[in-house]
Structure 1
Amino acid sequence: MTDIPRPAVTVLSGFSPAATGAVARRLLVDDPSLLLVVHSIDDLADGTVRRLVRTAAGIVEDVTVELVHGCFSCTLRDDVLPTLVRLAHERPGSDLLLALPRAVEPEAVAAACAHSPWVAEAVRFDSYVTVVDAGRITGDLDTTDDLRDRGLHVAPDDHRAVADVVARQLEYADTILTWTPPDTDPLDRVRTATLLRRLVPWAVPVDADTGDLPAAIRRTHRHDPRLPATLGRALAGYPIGDQAPTGDWGVASLVFEARRPFHPQRLHDALEDLAGLTLRARGQLWIASQPDTVLGFEAAGGGIGLGGLGYWLAALPPARWTEASLDRRLTADATWDPYYGDRRTTLAFVGLDLASDALTTLLTHCLLTDDELADGHDTWPTLPDPFAGCFTHPETTDAPA
């Protein structure tokens, strides 16, 4: 029996519905067999989601779906994925284009797929493409608005910041498609391209004005489901940023690395300044008072987020190291320190007119001093710790994928 190739799924995300919609229409016109799947959340407050499936010729399906458990993430799992699988069986010769609502992060799709192995048997997620409106990306990354301030929250308890959502849409992408308004100043165009390159150096940049846009973003095989989540990439040996402290076109980036731990109180006191100095920050760190826990760090829109990513391997018996990914173990082995083990800080910062020297000085000041190190690690748990009790220890050694 001849195997039928699985339909390829291209996932479109982005915070500008106009730009994302324009890209989707262009792809539909190029391939009459392509199926576009869109879930409108305009009626989310009424507990419903509208599912549209269309081709260039017109609408194939228009269905109102009840919100599962009042949760769009549950609806994603219980309606979006089954819809893709069903369409793959009904129209095996058609690829699929999934356009996400503007406030949905593409990693939510990947997480749902990871827990639904039956999806991978029917379709192949080919690429995650984030569409960027060059005229508004800087403002969206710099705003202090929450989704709720703009009426874009997808659940009653959705308190995410606009800047966080935009940053995560960018960082999960393997392809960044820039949609530039025709009246954009050429210097702004170059600056935006530089900013995107600093924010997501691992993604393939594509200009919407390129001659063969479909070939640039469809059937590229760029998506790798084995890649760790952004905050845990450095743990597995993947780069998380560029080292360009002086920058160009006003955009600079800095990667700060250290083996010694942070003093918990000094780090806490510096968080507001760290948020103010940078447009986006991400990575992992450790604090002296909680030496077993890998902490994920991110900043955007003037806010800071810290959370547990699991255990350092040095804090676990060797028998448990096999719970970590092979990349994580190889990276730990290659960078192992006789005193700290695999514990290390790797943080990436991107900013406009970034004061790199001031940022480095501030971060260095937050580390333990030579005298504090000399006191010995037995004294570290006695340091004042505003973060005490804030981080739980997951059962896994790895950061979530």
Structure 2
Amino acid sequence: MASTTTHQGKIPATVITGFLGAGKTTMIRNLLTNAGGRRIALIINEFGDLGVDGEVLKGCGAEACTEDDIIELTNGCICCTVADDFIPTMTKLLERENRPDHIIIETSGLALPQPLVAAFNWPDIRTQVTVDGVVTVVDSAAVAAGRFADDHDKVDAARAEDDTLDHESPIEELFEDQLTAADLIVLNKTDLIDADGVAAVRAEVASRTHRKPAMIEAKNGDVAASVLLGLGVGTEGDIANRKSHHEMEHEAGEEHDHDEFDSFIIELGPIADPNAFVARLKAVIAAHDVLRLKGFADVPGKPMRLLIQGVGQRIDQYFDRPWAAGEARGTRLVVIGLHDMDEAAVRAAIAAAV
């Protein structure tokens, strides 16, 4: 069996981060099916408690990572629950008799990687595990569409009248924080834009961090395991050079939270016409500026559940696995947006879309 254990005898861990819908889960699913004999443990953190990403990965049937090797943390953003969730999870994982060859951690799309990487310096962990590298996945199409860039001229004009206005949006800051933490940046979904668009995205991403991590392009999250694993960086030793906006705010005495974002789960009945439902969902997303929508749907007459993944106006749908024996069929979606999202209005609009 191939192993990526470091020469110090430590288990390598890869942190995979990136904003909502960048393609992290798809990339990990591809990785697990081409793991080269490595036994991989996977820790997944999601914003919201439906656990869609874990369900997707549990259904991939990869020998490298069985259901017992997949650990879900749904109690909040991992960057805020390191002591309560991540450290105990890592401790239990390291106490297993059959320890993994490699650990992969998929952060929430709203997580700051820096506090998580810093946690690998905890005494009980640093002697046994090292951060092989931080991989930041970027939705190239979203960057090309200006999703992470405010109109700074407009903001500057507004600030001239009101000095209390922030220059950057919460989304923009988080995007930059995730890039700043990276050892490798994956420009995903490049098939959705042309060559000039890819070049512009590459330049835009490079301008958002003072560091110069390696940058590669990908389609459908298809990146070789040999590229993602074995970076050998030991990122926990360099965390001081990767400070986030929030860490700098902490130094100034400000507190960090995720009040900028909200999420909720909506449960619906069967979806008789999935294509019509998805078309109506796009209208709801546009009207209410929903950042992310994902979940599963029950389509009458179909033995499999329908996976729905929405990022902005792009919504993917496919039947991912059969409904299990005794499993309650139903439609459940996680909706994520900014804190001023009108939850009641969004719920009503989605219910009306069925």
If asked which structure has higher relative contact order (CA below 8 Å, sep 6+), I would say 2
Question: How far 1:190 moved relative to its partner?
Answer: 1.1
Mapped partners of 1:197, 1:125: distance in 2: 23
- Give the 4+ runs in structure 1 shifted more than 3 A: 48-55, 61-67, 70-74, 209-212, 229-232, 305-309
Q: Which residue of 1 aligns with 2:212?
A: 202
**Identity across matched positions, percent:** 19
1:213 and 2:215 matched: no
8 Å Cα contact 1:41-1:49 kept in structure 2? no
Indicate which of 120, 145, 149 corresponds to 1:113: 120
**Are the aligned partners of 1:7 and 1:88 in contact in 2 as well (CA < 8 Å)?**
no
> Which aligned pairs between 1:1-400 and structure 2 lie closer than 5 A?
5-17=9-21, 19-31=23-35, 33-43=39-49, 56-57=62-63, 58-60=66-68, 67=75, 73=79, 75-90=81-96, 91-114=98-121, 116-137=122-143, 139-143=146-150, 161-200=170-209, 201-208=211-218, 213-227=224-238, 228-230=240-242, 308=252
Contact 1:84 1:96 in 2 (8 A): no
Partner of 1:371: none
Name the CA distance, whole Å, in 1 between partners of 2:11 and 2:233: 15
Cα 1:62–1:163 change in 2 (3 A) is same
SS at match of 1:38: strand
Count of residues in Structure 1 that have an aligned counterpart in Structure 2: 218
Paired amino acid for 2:198:
R
TM-score normalised according to structure 1 size: 0.46
CA offset at residue 66 of structure 1?
8.2
Unpaired segments ≥5 residues, structure 2? 1-6, 152-167, 254-354
Q: Could you list the runs of 5+ residues in structure 1 that have no partner in the other structure?
A: 145-158, 233-281, 283-295, 297-304, 310-401
Q: CA deviation at 1:140?
A: 3.4
Q: How many angstroms does 1:170 deviate by?
A: 0.5
Letter in 1 for 2:137: V
1:6-58 CA deviation, whole Å, 9 max, x = no partner? 221000000133511111111111115222211233239xxx99988957244
Alpha-carbon distance change, 60 to 135 in structure 1, aligned in 2, over 3 angstroms: same
1:232-261: CA deviations, max 9, x gaps? 9xxxxxxxxxxxxxxxxxxxxxxxxxxxxx
Contact 1:129 1:173 in 2 (8 A): yes
- How far is 1:230 from its partner? 3.8
Offset, 1:197: 2.7
The offset of 1:111, in angstroms, is: 3.0
Q: Provide the rounded CA distance (Å) in 1 between the counterparts of 2:140 and 2:89.
A: 32
- Of the structure 1 ranges 210-219 and 120-129, higher mean CA displacement relative to structure 2 is found in 210-219
Alpha-carbon RMSD: 3.8
Q: Shift in Å at residue 124 of structure 1?
A: 1.4
Cα separation, 1, equivalents of 2:19 and 2:114: 15
How far apart, in 2, do the equivalents of 1:198 and 1:64 lie? 34
TM-superposed CA distance for 1:106, in Å, is 0.3
Shift of 1:164: 0.8
Matched to 2:180, the amino acid is E
Question: Is the contact between residue 33 and residue 62 of structure 2 (CA under 8 Å) also seen in structure 1?
Answer: yes
Question: What is the CA–CA distance in structure 1 between the aligned matches of 2:133 and 2:42, rounded to whole Å?
Answer: 15
Q: Which residue identity is paired with 1:6?
A: K
Closer/same/farther in 2, CA of residues 190 and 78 from structure 1, 3 Å limit: same
CA positional deviation for 1:83: 1.9
Contact conserved, 1:51 with 1:65, CA < 8 A, in 2?
A: no
Q: Are the structure 2 counterparts of residues 160 and 121 from structure 1 closer, same or farther at C-alpha, using a change threshold of 3 Å?
A: farther
CA distance in 2, matches of 1:78, 1:118: 15
Aligned-partner Cα distance in 1 for 2:18–2:218: 14
The CA distance in 2 between the partners of 1:11 and 1:231, in whole Å, is 16
Q: TM-score, normalised by structure 2?
A: 0.52
With over 3 angstroms needed to count, the CA separation of the structure-2 counterparts of 1:75 and 1:49, relative to structure 1, is farther
